[in-house]
Chain A
Amino acid sequence: MNNDRSQSTHSHASCWYSFALALSIMILLLLGVETIETAFADTAAGNTPTSATGQNWTTPTGATAYGGANAGYNNAGMNNLILKGFNLSIPDSSTINGVTAYIYGYGTGGTATTRRIRANLTLNGSAANGTWKTALAQNTTMTLNTVGAVNDLWGMTGVSGAAVNSANFGLLITDDNTTAGQIYIDYAYLSVDYTPPVSCTYADPTVTISANQNANQGGTNNYTVSVTSNDTTGCSNTTFSVSKTDNPSVPNANFSASTLPSSIGPIDPGDTLTMLLAHTVTTGATVGATLTSYATTASDANHGAVNSNTITSTVTDGYIPSSSITSPLNNAVLNLASASPTTISGTAADTTGGSGIASVAINVGGGNFVAATCSNCPTSGSATANWSYNWTLPAVQSTGYNIQSRATDVSGRFSGGSGNIMVTVDRVRPGVSSTVPTTGAANVVVNNAVTINWNENVDCASVTTSSVTILPSVTWNKTSCSGTQAVFTPSGQNTGTGYTVTASTAVTDTAGNAMSSSYNWGYTTAGGAPAPDPPTGLSLSNMTRHGPQVSWTGVSGATDYNIYRSDDNATWGSAIGNVLDPATTYTDNNAPLSNTVYYWTVTAKNGGSESTKPTAVMGKTSLHKGYNMISAPYNTTSLSPTTVFGVWANWSWLWQSAGNVNPDTNGVYVKPNTLTPGKSVFTWAWDEATTLSGSGTANGSSITVSLLPGWNMISNQTASNMNSISSTWLIDGSPIMAAINGTAPFSVPVIGGAISWWDGNTYDTGNIVSNPPVEPWKGYFILNLDSVSHTLTIQ
């Protein structure tokens, strides 16, 4: 039998054949599940079954070809027309999935429901082996009847390709026993659907191990060994025997015995299974030691032995070194008596088996670690390293510092700040900040308590009736002491008597720092003699910032003198000092600001009575050590800063604004060759011994300067304070407050509302609307908010 479809005729049969074939292929493509081939038995193209017999059939061979005589049957029995010998050539071990029979025929007689054709399959050429299938036959009209399907084995099982290839495999056709008339078969053919056998091809597996690893001493490297079966799918699964090769062999001093299962599987063809290869490093392993390994799958009947790639395990340092601080001790207090630099020292060591200490670093109060000096680094193994660090103690008041040390071993591993202590640094001496009664207080109730406040906590053990005394001597008890305050109570005081209380340098703060000098002040109890005359001959000398000395002529009958300071010669607060007669000088070491005019006056006292204040003396404090914002109140045109102020003013700087997008940064300080009246400069003073003074050609009472966008350094060009600038200064010829408030002729604010003078610590800022005094010899910043220049008339 020829199965080539091209040999089919252009008949109904070939049409059905083509349609069935295409449908089968489409189903196969769509399902994609298994390979199904269609063998084809076609009687229409002359591929006549080699056998066509049938008892009681007329012309049985008529059913072997299209057209011509028909095989006919008209008998009360159910004799079969046997068509066989289709000569199929399906692979013998194929699995037959289904058989479809196409029978072209018709019937006569009977009814539409009783005129039926029956069909079955035979494996031995005679007996029906399957289940009978029935198709209705059209009355006298030749019709192609289809029975069976691609997945219908007609009730049979286990039918092989060899069975259908057999010459005895055939189609049985008969009529239904109930058919009253005849049936006629023109021809019939078969379609056999089958799954061809799957082949098996063996191939060596693929064996791989994951990448190299390092392991700390005492650690373990876990590698993944992967085995992939490369057999084709027709093969059965395989369990592979596996071995490993270690170099050097383990266990040894550096590695414990490595572990790997002895087999892996079963692995289906194409599948991959993994297993664990572990290398454990001994705790005492040598840093840098290596172990290489590869895995091997053993050969078997179908596979050769296969080696994996080789991996390397390297030993790394697994020990973190430690360090400790031995000096200073935890919670130590470092004061002015402590050496500075003070030595921070300690030890460090690596764990047994470690690589040794390479270096030590310390951290004081946060920030980065810095290197300490190690006297014997690098060490080996667990040997102790000795280290030290010189710490220059800061001048701070009772500040806690966390000190940490950190050791790094030769392998680069380090502790996370293992040494960890806290120390307190206090290198500022305590000072008296206020007292009750205040200095020079009069009419104090007899035996009133005396309160002393320091500027930091004091060691109350150092505050005693010996370290804090009162003269004239009276009974004197310490009532309380806590924190920054101590209270003493006198008894036996006289009325109208001046008393001087002295806190000596025996008083210390909690860190043990003593007061830099004794502090004494006086007050007078209520009652007593009439007030003496005010002192005369007031004068000033030594006008440094921290040492202006006030002198006066002593007054007869005075017991002591009160000294007062004012910044405006109008407002006087409490006395800033008190000295006992016959002293006639007082050093004011607490003037608040540099390069600033102050007024001093002195009263004479007699017990609780105090004289009136005589006319004050005026003086100006010296410059601040550091930057000062200065000017000269006379015509400095074409004069250099050094000509006007002295050679120390060589370091003078003028802010040159370049716009006001960001007034703080959009500009630079430039070194001016000459000064300009109405402008000011920053000048660096190396000490506090310089007091600005001098004279020259006076400027006019009014001067106009240009204000660039941004900050501008200006000054009072006259020798007197300007105290009404909000009403006297002009911007572009109009009142400055209009420029500040953005009122006519200005549409928006163009000038900042304040002026600022650098006082050595900060910019002392005053609102122009409040008329801050603008002093000669000082310099001030003023802000031009606009994007264009304006003029400022200073007057």
Chain B
Amino acid sequence: MRTLIRTFTIIAAIIALWATGAFAAQDFEAKIKISGSGAYDYCVIGMNKNATDGFDNAYDTLAPGGNMNGTYITCTMLHPEWKAIKNEFRGDYRTHKRSDTWNIVVQTNLPAGTVLTMEALKKGAPIPESVMISVEEPATGQQTELTSAPYQFTVTGEVMNFTITGGHMKKVKSPASGHTSGDATQQ
């Protein structure tokens, strides 16, 4: 009888996860690297169980300003609402959720028309397979998945804005069982 009850409880929990669109939380972090003509920079986005959506001094990182190179590309995320000592952040970690968006600002002094590449790279640990990171093409609104392939765009001005979406949005197949793994988003 106890076994039956336990089994029922587990099934109910699984059903509840599916019904509510819940997902299994897992930390992740990724470098959003922008490069071209020998210059590059990156922003760091991520989710961490100890982070909040507001300013976390331990996770949301500031970097020194100023470019030490003649040719530069910079990636920043603006958070004046955090009222920190600077508005421009290099790293922005959020609390666990299915997905979230990050607005990044790319600045460069490369001439208009120069082809730049945007990639999602691991920062420390590899990016979990369940994580999808995509960038919205500003002109068309089309999403390009950075975790699958780099995204190329041309310089249109000194300042360009992009919206990055990231989170546990992929189903991951277990090689052994073929079932959805515990890290995956339940859809």
Contact = CB atoms under 8 A, between A and B. Distances in A.
A761 B37 contact: no
Contacts, number: 103
B64 A767 contact: no
Contacts of A366: 111-112
B185 to A, nearest CB: 24
Q: Which of A397, A400, A401, A761: most chain B Cβ within 10 A?
A: A761
Contacts of A758: 68
A660 interface: yes
B57 A398 contact: no
Contacts of B59: 753, 767, 769
A664 B58 contact: no
B63 A765 contact: yes
Contacts of A761: 39-41, 69, 73
A781 B68 contact: no
Contacts of A781: 63-64
A428 interface: yes
B65 interface: yes
B5 interface: no
Contact of B114 (A399, A682, A753, A763): A399
Interface in B73-92: 73-74, 85-86, 90-91
B85 A785 contact: yes
Interface residues of B, number: 33
Q: Which of B39, B44, B58: most chain A Cβ within 10 A?
A: B58
Given A627-B68, A763-B63, A397 B57 contact: no
B113 to A, nearest CB: 4
Nearest to A783: B62
A758 B64 CA distance: 9
Nearest to B155: A399
Contact of B57 (A394, A663, A740): A740
A663 B115 contact: no
B115 to A, nearest CB: 6
A710 to B, nearest CB: 9
Interface in B11-66: 36-37, 39-42, 44, 56-66
Nearest to A663: B85
Interface in A262-279: none
Nearest to A684: B68
A365 B56 CA distance: 42
Interface string A744-780: 0000010011101010111101011110000000000
A761 B62 CA distance: 16
Interface in B112-159: 112-115, 124
Contact of A664 (B60, B86, B124): B86
Contact of A767 (B61, B66, B112): B61
A401 B111 CA distance: 9
A400 B57 contact: no
Given A396-B110, A660-B85, A765 B61 contact: yes
B36 A767 contact: no
A781 B66 CA distance: 13
A176 interface: no
B36 A397 contact: yes
B12 to A, nearest CB: 37
A400 B113 contact: yes
B3 to A, nearest CB: 43
Interface string A719-749: 0000000000000000001001110000001
A396 B61 contact: no
A626 interface: yes
Contacts of B37: 395-397, 428
A30 B63 CA distance: 83
Contacts of B85: 660, 662-663, 783, 785
Contacts of B42: 762
Nearest to B68: A627
Contacts of B62: 663, 752, 754, 783
Contacts of B69: 626-627, 760-761
A588 interface: no
Given A396-B37, A400-B113, A456-B115, 16 more contacts: A366-B112, A396-B110, A396-B111, A396-B114, A398-B115, A399-B112, A399-B114, A626-B69, A664-B86, A740-B57, A752-B57, A756-B63, A762-B74, A767-B58, A783-B62, A785-B85
Interface of B: 36-37, 39-42, 44, 56-66, 68-69, 73-74, 85-86, 90-91, 110-115, 124
21 contacts: A394-B111, A395-B37, A396-B110, A397-B37, A399-B111, A399-B115, A456-B115, A626-B69, A663-B64, A663-B85, A741-B58, A752-B62, A753-B61, A754-B63, A761-B39, A765-B44, A765-B63, A765-B91, A781-B64, A783-B85, A785-B57
